[in-house]
Amino acid sequence: MALVCFSGPACAGLFTEPDPDWKEGEYQVPAPLRDPALREIEVDSTSRNRVLIDENSLTVGGDGVVRYVMVARAGGGAENSTFEGIRCETREWRIYAAGRPGGQWANARDASWKPIVDSAYSRPRAVLANNYFCDGAVPPRDRDEVLRRLRGIDGGPLKPTP
């Protein structure tokens, strides 16, 4: 059986090992969410929960990590926000900080990198990595590329949220 790749970016990371000397770059926890530009992503059509990404918080670091604020809204009205990162090269994610009442951030208790798996808890990260942030093991070129995908200009199914 042969593996055929038709897209350079989608295939770029398939035949290389992750950089053993990789070091995470500097990052800043975003300002408290005051006027977030939230964009909903479709995660699970059977769930009443909504997952939203704050476009204002989105960055693509020189270290290849896509960082963003995710807001999860439960059907009953509860809301949680987290500042997270996805590393395309290794298909891992981590939470840097969790939102607190009043809009402040608290450092995450467990900020270790975890594999992206398609489980109920990490499904939003799998959707983000697969559909918006990563081309296989390659991160997006820049923030504008991710925003185009999130806004549906490059095929992303997201819609603005009121």
Output the tens digit of pLDDT for each of the chain's 162 residues. Answer: 344 444 444 444 444 677 888 899 999 999 887 767 899 988 877 777 889 999 999 999 999 999 999 999 988 888 899 999 999 999 999 999 999 888 889 999 998 999 999 888 889 999 999 999 998 888 888 899 999 998 887 544 444 444
pLDDT of res. 11: 46
Token reading at 11: 């295939």
Residue pair 39/151 in contact by the 8 Å Cβ criterion: yes
CA gap 57, 26 in Å, rounded: 15
CA dist 77 → 34, 48, 155, 160 (Å): 19, 10, 30, 19
Task: Give the SS3 label for residue 145.
Answer: helix
pLDDT of res. 98: 95
pLDDT of res. 17: 77
Domains, the chain, ordered by start: 35-160 (2.40.128)
pLDDT of res. 33: 77
pTM across the whole model: 0.80
Give one DSSP letter per residue of 35-67, joined into a string: S--EEEE---TT-S-EEEEEEEEEEE-TTSEEE
Token reading at 33: 């969410």
